[in-house]
Structure 1
Amino acid sequence: MASQKADSDGPSTHVEINHKGAVQKTIENTVSGVSDREYNRILRKVDYRVIPILAVLYLLSFLDRGSIGNANIQGMSDTLGLVGQQYNWCLTIFFFPYSFTEPLCNLLLVRLKPRIWLPSIMVAWGIVMTLTGIVQNYSGLLAARFFLGLTEAGLFPGLAFYISLWYPRANAQFRLALIFASASMAGAFSGLLAYLISMMDGIGGIEGWRWIFFLEGILTVVAAAASFMFVWDEPATATFLTEDEKNILLLALNPMQLEVSADPQLGSEQSAKWKHMKAAVLDWQTWFHCLNYWGVACAVYALSLFLPAIIKGLGYSAAIAQLLTIPVYAAATISCIFVGYFADKTGQRSLFTVGCYGAIVVGYIIAVAPPSFMPGLTYAGCFIAACGIYPAIPGLLALSSNNWAPNAKRAVGMAIQMGFGTMGGAAASNFYRTEDAPRYRLGHILVLVFAGIGLLTMISYYLICKRLNAKRDAEADNVYQYTTEQLIDLGDKAPSFRYKL
């Protein structure tokens, strides 16, 4: 049995390779000489400083991009004279700048640092959101949605990458789930807020749907200005951590083990190697992650953009339809947190995500299967699907962030994954046509098809990673051909690297 010990200013980490080639850690997910209690205390300390502000940022972004659905059932299309597919094109245009600029945005995050980049783009999209309230025609709304997509593009891929800088692989999904739960909370909050704002219709001679954009946009700008004080760059520069706590956390992030992923620091030389960016584009994983994310992205945007219209089509007034979105999103929030917690606790990423895909498929089958329109089943199907959609996304992002290494490859890979996947939102924007109301059977079927493709891709990815891990276990002696620095540089291609399942 061979072993390796890493030198550091903090506690050392001892790793061993047994006769089967399996990497063994003294304490799972932490470092040698540090108790689980102490390690969890440090993580909680990070949680209190990092998670709340990220959740607020993402809640407001999802609230802003989805509020057009609430504004539409309050009369926006009638006021602007939208006809045919014009409303759908206004939804679609958002995703083109959003998707194609995401990889660039993550590189800018690395260069400019999170404390500058994240609040700055939030100020920008808050201004765009506010100005959407003054549009007078189709062209104006189209332009507003384009610039909203452009300014929001850096947030979600930035948040997903940012989490990987603060939390070790085994602790990432629950934190992503807490942040993404804010998206489902945004759906519930959006319905309630739109209901309340609709009562302002006519105040100051302004229609209620315009007030939705004005008030939500101003809220975003105010929150963005405050967030400059609350976003931290990385553990190494965090003043709320003591030097000992920094050492422990940095060792947990990059314990110099044979399973090492990357240097966690944003400004490291590791993060600047262009070959890793090229590797992210060409990696086999990238295309699996893109297809996986596409399947869920179609569903999440179909739900967030059209749920108010779907529920209104069940026979309810616009006001009641806004309120009936709340139980759906509340259940999705609970499901998101529940799945994220147990996925981290059990270490099973893929199996929980497969289960989430199963819920999406079942939900949409319920919505489309009856030969005649049954409003109750449509609502129940959306309810069940939402409970699979929202926890699936943090599961997919945790899995990809766990399995791409080093940092530069992870940053670009995750941006490509989300950029490609988010184009599923562009597709979903056109699934639900006015002429298909109230059943919207075509839209439900299309979402079901893409969710089915995502499910099959997810199962395939799990089986491939399991086979590769077994192969590397069998060839574990190859590790000794490399230095630690070379293993870090190889990232997920290193013979010591094991894919998270």
Structure 2
Amino acid sequence: MYEKTQNQSAMLSTKDDETPSEGTRTHVSEVPMFDQKTTKRLLRKLDWHLLPFMSLIYLLCFLDRTNIGNARLDSLEQDLNLKGLQYNDCLAILFPFYIAAEIPSNMMMKRIRPSVWLTFIMVAWSACMIAQGFVKNYSGLMATRVFLGVFEGGLFPGVNYYELHHECGFRMALFFSAATLAGAFGGILARCIAEMSGVGGLSAWSWIFILEGLLSILVSFSAYWAIHDYPSTAGFLTEKERDEVERRLAVDHGQLSNHFDVKYVWQAIGDWKIYIFMLIFMAGFAPIYSLSMFIPTIIKGMGYSANNAQLMSVPPYVFACFFTIGASWYADRARQRGIFLLGFQLVAILGFALLAASGNATVQYIGTVLAAVGVYPQIPLGLAWNGANIGGSLKRGTGIAMQVMGGNCGGIIASYVYLTRDGPRYVTGHSILIGIVGMAFFLTLFMTIWCRRENARRDAVAQQVGSHELTEEQKILERELADGAPWFRYTI
């Protein structure tokens, strides 16, 4: 789904140095055009031109997807006469369409320039968000959420076009931290917009959707010029820099197979390890979506007023942002992912346990902060870990696509974790999330142990055979094995 072509791969897949990637030991003979100092300067240049705007788009996307949690505190359910599980249904309906849109959107990325396609879907989802501010009943809200899912579903494949994968874990964390900032920004904005209740005959929740949709549509007007399609057309690069970026993209492909062949797609579909990573990813996104859509409601249940609950929802996201970036920075340097994941999963379990076990508002709020700190770093860590442990460009792209689709299934689960009948403590919901994160913990522990043992086994075999440079014929033969190649080593 995310296969690259030499001319149509984006620029963030370049590495910070000329060492082999953490998941493979490749044999490349291409001679770098730039020295280490010049290369770092080039990478920083790429980062400054690509990451900020793409992160801003993702921030707005996540904000528009989850601001219904803030709107709920401003009489959304009462005004639309929502009963029973209807509010939860409106949350859940977005995700099947979000998931279904990913592959068609990726196909459109191949037919239409990224700048054109991403601008189109951003304008479209912004229009859906504005329309959501004018709905009058349950059916209207369901319809707008369907179309919001259809158009927002194309963003992540579009961003993945920029190849934020395993060699760029820190960059991936910077990008995903936009989701935490969306939560913080959403709480502050919702508190300010609450003062507009009654303006134009509309409730405050309507203005939350309308104004945040207008903000997204204003940013989308600049997307066409801000998004760079290919290295060859990036105006901020010199001719030599363009050549170096394309060379590094070719080197990044490594000796594992990068040519399209459906057998590599089937390799990914038949790889049991990817399904475990899918479950770990789903168990990460389930609590993230649960918090992002319900954290204002949870905090209000602690005894705070609606307006104060909007503001109190900000600090957990700020702490989560700090730890999301910091954890990936350390993980990149340690060349490890599993141990970091295990640590944050334990933090998340502790946070939800405090929420479930105590009726004290202070303890519950501390639990909310710990839960947010524990769950958000899991996404960039999990995505980088899976990507690093899949050999071959096409198999890796398919495996990451499977992981992302599995993760978004967590959004469907999250929509029904916190039910109105369980409020204000939501002990059942917190307990469910403890179980989900606990499952991820044991799966992560299993994969960490398995990867260590498999690496040790391959090292032992290599010692017996003796180290020697692979011939071109051996490289061609062994690249068919993807991460099953004898010289591939898993990230632990």
2:355–2:364: 8 Å Cα contact kept in structure 1? yes
> Which residue of structure 1 lines up, in the alignment, with residue 39 of structure 2?
39
Give runs of aligned pairs for residues 261-410 of structure 1, distance below 5 A: 270=259, 272-370=260-358, 373-410=359-396
2:366 alignment partner, SS class: helix
Instruction: In structure 1, give the amino acid aligned to 2:116.
Output: I
Query: Does 2:446 match 1:460?
Result: yes
Deviation string, structure 1 residues 320-355 (Cα, Å, up to 9, x no partner): 100001111111111111112111122222222222
Deviation string, structure 1 residues 157-206 (Cα, Å, up to 9, x no partner): 43245234xx7x43x11111111111100000000111111111111111
1:228 alignment partner, SS class: helix
> Which residue of structure 1 lines up, in the alignment, with residue 105 of structure 2?
105
- Report which stretch shifted further, 309-318 or 470-479: 470-479
Distance in 2 of aligned mates of 1:483 and 1:116: 42
Displacement of 1:252 in angstroms is 4.1
- Report which stretch shifted further, 79-88 or 473-482: 473-482
Distance in 2 of aligned mates of 1:421 and 1:156: 12
Distance in 2 of aligned mates of 1:315 and 1:234: 52
* CA 462–261 in structure 1, closer or farther in 2 if over 3 Å, else same: farther
Query: Does 2:210 match 1:219?
Result: no
Displacement of 1:385 in angstroms is 1.3
1:292–1:396: 8 Å Cα contact kept in structure 2? yes
Instruction: In structure 2, give the amino acid aligned to 1:394.
Output: P
Distance in 2 of aligned mates of 1:489 and 1:234: 28
> Which residue of structure 2 lines up, in the alignment, with residue 70 of structure 1?
70
* CA 236–475 in structure 1, closer or farther in 2 if over 3 Å, else same: farther
Distance in 2 of aligned mates of 1:117 and 1:392: 29
Query: Does 2:177 match 1:191?
Result: no
1:93–1:145: 8 Å Cα contact kept in structure 2? yes
- Report which stretch shifted further, 454-463 or 403-412: 403-412
1:343–1:349: 8 Å Cα contact kept in structure 2? yes
2:352–2:431: 8 Å Cα contact kept in structure 1? yes
Distance in 1 of aligned mates of 2:170 and 2:273: 22
- TM-score using structure 2 length: 0.88
Give runs of aligned pairs for residues 93-242 of structure 1, distance below 5 A: 93-164=93-164, 169-170=166-167, 172-242=168-238
* CA 113–452 in structure 1, closer or farther in 2 if over 3 Å, else same: farther
> Which residue of structure 1 lines up, in the alignment, with residue 10 of structure 2?
none
After superposition, the CA RMSD in angstroms is: 2.7
Distance in 2 of aligned mates of 1:417 and 1:465: 18
Displacement of 1:119 in angstroms is 2.3
User: Structure 2: which 5+ runs fail to align?
Assistant: 1-16
2:122–2:151: 8 Å Cα contact kept in structure 1? yes
* CA 106–181 in structure 1, closer or farther in 2 if over 3 Å, else same: same
1:149 alignment partner, SS class: helix
> Which residue of structure 1 lines up, in the alignment, with residue 414 of structure 2?
428
User: Structure 1: which 5+ runs fail to align?
Assistant: 1-12, 17-21, 264-269
Aligned residues: 468
Instruction: In structure 2, give the amino acid aligned to 1:414.
Output: I
- Report which stretch shifted further, 227-236 or 213-222: 227-236
> Which residue of structure 2 lines up, in the alignment, with residue 4 of structure 1?
none
> Which residue of structure 2 lines up, in the alignment, with residue 5 of structure 1?
none
Deviation string, structure 1 residues 339-372 (Cα, Å, up to 9, x no partner): 12111122222222222212111111222234xx
* CA 141–163 in structure 1, closer or farther in 2 if over 3 Å, else same: same
2:350–2:370: 8 Å Cα contact kept in structure 1? yes
1:500 alignment partner, SS class: coil
- Report which stretch shifted further, 392-401 or 485-494: 485-494
Percent identity, aligned pairs only, is 37
1:310–1:439: 8 Å Cα contact kept in structure 2? yes
> Which residue of structure 2 lines up, in the alignment, with residue 438 of structure 1?
424
Instruction: In structure 2, give the amino acid aligned to 1:355.
Output: G
Distance in 2 of aligned mates of 1:335 and 1:413: 26
Distance in 1 of aligned mates of 2:352 and 2:31: 45
Distance in 2 of aligned mates of 1:61 and 1:475: 48
Give runs of aligned pairs for residues 2-41 of structure 1, distance below 5 A: 23=25, 34-41=34-41
* CA 89–345 in structure 1, closer or farther in 2 if over 3 Å, else same: same
Distance in 2 of aligned mates of 1:455 and 1:55: 28
* CA 339–197 in structure 1, closer or farther in 2 if over 3 Å, else same: same
> Which residue of structure 2 lines up, in the alignment, with residue 497 of structure 1?
488
* CA 396–158 in structure 1, closer or farther in 2 if over 3 Å, else same: farther
